[in-house]
Amino acid sequence: MYKVFIASSNKTKAHALKFKKQLMDSDNKIDVVGWWETNTAFQNGDSTLESLLQISKNFDFAVVFLSPDYLRENNQDIAQSIEGGDSKKGHRLKTPSDNCVFELGIFASSLGTRRCFVLCSIESGDLVKSLSDFRGINYFKVTSEELENGCRSKVNSISEAILGHPRRITYEEIPLITMEDLNEREIKTTSRSTGKLIRSATVIVNSTQPLELNTSFAQRVKQNIEQGISYKYFFPAVDNNLSIVAELFQSLAASHIASDNTTELKLEMQNTIDPTKENLNKLKDRVAIYFLKDIQPIEFCIHNASSIDNAICYLRRPDGSDNNAIKFVQWASRQSAYEIAKNLDGFGKRIRGNKFVFRSTKDIDIYSDAHQEKLEELTENILELFPQELHNLVQEVCFHPENL
């Protein structure tokens, strides 16, 4: 939907209202908002600079009505009119509202001149001179009769020009989401929560540095798994990822322990064998980890990945490894997010019978002879993070029974 802002004087508001209706009727992709529909600061055709600057960031285009609202003395010795005649000093000129000219400048600066349209009903050529700095603006001269009918003759030209441009994407439209915010969204929806996960949801994670290495995220995954949520992780099959994947599995298995340190987790698991075993068996049913041949260019997670109506894709902004700097944006939802999940999930092979965490994909069969060395390294990395007493169960949970 293209968002168009209309600026006009209070005297021209009735004509601007007609224009708004006609422009919206011209195409259902165009949404129009007049200055009189925003905050109360605009009710008298006035606004603070801060309000204008904020409003200008949230629109794709602006249409500004310049109408003969004031009579002013001409202070120039000689001013050439648009017809080429002279306008002597002391001649009274019809000029637009200063607010409208000011708003035109604000929107031209924010949107660019080619996204601004001027509907001018002023006869004086002096106005054209005063707008000489606004080159590139779509300028339409309208008669008083055209103004009365809402500039109907200009609607199609402006509509076509709008549809010929791409939409603007602003930070205001895509607010940043912190790790904590994302954690709160990764909760099953109930009457008491603001979580975004539906019943029996699937969460897909495509990342080289999973958030679940953080205790609070690992604990969230544990809670979700207990409520029937499933997780699928995708990693590029590169050597330095094997240790990260091992740490991820340890973090999920030890999610009942409040620590991010791998050594501390291993020691504490020794003291909490039964809860750790319980976690491991739940991972076997609800977690799958896949390896992809190629490194994905972006990192993201998808909530409700198997639901066309409820899928949401969160794109990770590459701000470094510092958890305080990690931010996300809601990049896609519903059908578009579902298609992203479907394309990625399509790499994974369906498993029948026995369940286990590490699965093969179309590109990487980790249980084939070609990847035997990587499988052995992965196994070694994982077992090193668990007490000896749990090694048999860990292998049973992680790997295909034929490879035990």
Instruction: Name residue 5's beta-bridge partners.
Output: 33, 62
Q: What is the DSSP string of 279-335?
A: HHHHHHHHEEEEEESS--SS-EEEETTT-TTT-EEEEEE---S-GGG-EEEEEEEHH
Question: Model-level pTM?
Answer: 0.60
Give CA torsion, residues 262, 384, 375, 243, to 10 deg: 30
Judged against a pLDDT cut of 70, whether residue 284 lies above it is answered with yes
Measured distance CA(46)–CA(39) in Å, rounded = 11
Contact 330, 174 (CB under 8 A): yes
CATH 3.40.50.360 matches 2-163: yes
* Predicted pLDDT of residue 134: 60
CA separation, residue 38 to residues 47, 76, 94, 103 (Å)? 10, 38, 28, 14
Q: How far is CA 270 from CA 255, 257, 264, 265, 283, in A?
A: 14, 11, 10, 9, 19
pLDDT at 144 > cutoff 90 = no
Give the separation between CA 69 and CA 9, rounded to whole angstroms. Answer: 8
As a whole number of angstroms, the distance between CA 355 and CA 220 comes to 22
Q: How many helices (H) and strands (E) does the chain have?
A: 14, 16
Highest mean pLDDT among 78-82, 89-93, 237-241: 237-241
Domain coordinates of the chain in residue numbers?
A: 2-163, 176-403
pLDDT tens track for 35-90: 887 554 454 444 467 778 878 888 899 999 988 877 666 555 433 333 344 445 55
Q: Which helix (H) or strand (E) holds 102?
A: helix 98-111
By DSSP bridging, strand 230-236 and strand 287-292 are parallel
User: 192 and 184 in contact (C-beta within 8 Å)?
Assistant: no
Residue 124 has pLDDT above 70, yes or no: no
- C-beta separation of 46 from 28 below 8 A: no
Q: What is the DSSP letter of 188?
A: B
Query: 333-371, pLDDT tens digit by residue?
Result: 999 999 999 888 776 666 565 689 999 888 888 899 999
Check residue 78 and give its pLDDT: 36
Q: Is the dihedral of CA 214, 219, 220, 225 positive or negative?
A: positive
Mark out the alpha helices in 149-294 (DSSP H runs): 152-163, 179-185, 215-226, 241-253, 262-271, 273-286
Q: Range with the lowest mean pLDDT among 64-68, 102-106, 127-131, 249-253?
A: 127-131
pLDDT of 143 strictly over 70: yes
Calculate the alpha carbon distances from 226 to 54, 85, 220, 221 in Å.
Answer: 44, 84, 10, 9
Give CA–CA dist 99/400, Å, rounded: 72
165 vs 73, residue with greater confidence: 165
At residue 87, the pLDDT reads 47
Instruction: Report phi then psi at 215, rounded to 5.
Output: -55, -45
Q: What's the confidence (pLDDT) of residue 397?
A: 96
**pLDDT score recorded for residue 295:** 74
On whether the CB atoms of residues 105 and 49 are closer than 8 A, the answer is: no
Radius of gyration of the chain (CA): 31
Report d(CA 369, CA 21) in Å as an integer: 68
Could you give the count of Cα atoms lying within 13 Å of 295 in the half-sphere of its Cβ? 7
For position 239, what pLDDT does the model report?
Answer: 67
Cβ atoms of residues 55 and 106 within 8 Å: no
Measured between alpha carbons, how far is 401 from 313 in angstroms, rounded to an integer? 34
**Residues belonging to the chain:** 404
Q: What are the backbone dihedrals phi and psi of residue 12, each rounded to the nearest 5 degrees, phi first?
A: -100, 5
